[in-house]
Copies of this chain bind each other. A is one copy, B any other.
Amino acid sequence: MNLETILQGRSSWVGSARDPGPLVSSRIRLARNLNGRFFPSWAEDAERSRIWKELSEFLPGLDVLHPAAAVEMSELADIDKEILFERHLISRDHLSKGEGSGFVVREDEQVSALVNEEDHFRLQAMLPGLNLSGAWELVDALDNQIEERVTYAFSPRLGYLTACPSNVGTGMRASVMLHLPGLVLLNEMGPIIKGMGKIGLAVRGLKGEGTEANGHLFQISNQITLGQNEADMVSTLEQIVLEVVEHETNARERLMQDQEMLVRDQAGRAFGILSSAHLMQSKEALDLLSNLRLGIDLGILPGLEGLNVDELLLLTQPAHLQKIEGKPLKPKQRDSARATLIRDALARAGKPGRKPRT
């Protein structure tokens, strides 16, 4: 299997079109390091390359990663790195890495391992909707299969040792991506974000730390990696996410009760612009697709149930657009390609107000 299959395939952590509710996707990553070796930032180039060589030899053969692609960062064109980043398969830090750093990813993209990012291993599982326990099973299996081959840096008192102290312990970061337009429209996200902070959870935008919640998309994740076992952490987070979803559902009901015309207008306009514009910047696409997603979910844009908005959110990112077009595009050209891709997808999905084709 080669990387092209992945770069051009459909991310199977993207949910199906039929149910675009508030729950977008679930992700867990584990930070792990080899015992007795320098952390990647402290290691010399030759040592990092040795480690990549050792690990990339056996990782693709592991059951839970099969069938996998293993690629050293230096082999990748910039555009492909960007695509992997847009697909949440590599981190922003990993974008600038070259020789001695790499990643291994299962064809369906649900399981992957970064090698020599901040830690020797960043193991990740990602699934559509709310499925942290499923993601935990996958990443735990990967963790175990790797541990049969190597010895991790581990302290009986602290747990897994990591390059950054904030990850010491379980080394686990579990997060759920949520679409919360109802709470945003009613100005109710503030207290929720505050409340999350008090119980050790962080709420961030689409692309992780320091990014704004464009498109009404939020990631909720644990901050604490010490003093709680993984299964408990995962189950606590799942419960809290379900509570947030209940708030969102409630907010949507109030919106439809008190401001139905406004919601219909917003969804209608999103559809109208997305299906007719010829130039569209990322930020606008994100916001309009978010409004469209809400409209479909509320059943006020009938005939669009077949449209996979989450996939459009993925494909309309700059690197994906350039991959699809097969050439580098200037910003204006990307705006044109983005508008065209969305127009075509909406035309295929049918016209709201008509019955979906059967």
Q: Which residues of chain B come closer than 8 Å to A332, judged between CB atoms? A: 261
Q: Is the Cβ of A268 less than 8 Å from the Cβ of B276?
A: yes
Candidate in A261, A264, A274, A278 with the most chain B CB atoms within 10 angstroms? A278
Interface string of A238-270 (1 = CB under 8 A from B): 000000000000000000000001101100110
Flag whether A273 is at the interface (Cβ < 8 A).
yes
Which of B262, B273, B275, B352 lies in contact with A279, CB distance below 8 A? B262
Number of residues of chain A lying within 8 A (CB) of chain B: 19
Which of B261, B268, B271, B276 lies in contact with A269, CB distance below 8 A? B276
Flag whether A331 is at the interface (Cβ < 8 A).
no
Q: Is the Cβ of B278 less than 8 Å from the Cβ of A261?
A: yes
Q: Which residues of chain B come closer than 8 Å to A265, judged between CB atoms? A: 277-279, 339
Flag whether A195 is at the interface (Cβ < 8 A).
no
**Nearest CB to that of A300 among chain B residues?**
B278
Q: Which residues of chain B come closer than 8 Å to A273, judged between CB atoms? A: 269, 272-273, 276
Distance between A66 CB and nearest chain B CB, rounded to angstroms:
46
Flag whether A336 is at the interface (Cβ < 8 A).
yes
What separation, in Å, do the CA atoms of A261 and B278 have in the docked complex? 7
Q: Which residues of chain B come closer than 8 Å to A339, judged between CB atoms? A: 265
Q: Which residues 264-297 in A have Cβ within 8 Å of B in the complex?
A: 264-265, 268-269, 271-279
What separation, in Å, do the CA atoms of A280 and B131 have in the docked complex? 41
Give 4 nearest A-B pairs by CB, closest first. A272-B276, A272-B272, A265-B278, A268-B276
Beyond the given pairs A265-B339, A268-B278, A269-B276, 16 more chain A to chain B contacts, judged by CB atoms under 8 angstroms and listed by A's residue number, are A261-B278, A261-B279, A261-B332, A261-B336, A265-B278, A265-B279, A268-B276, A269-B272, A269-B277, A271-B272, A271-B276, A272-B273, A272-B274, A272-B277, A273-B276, A276-B352
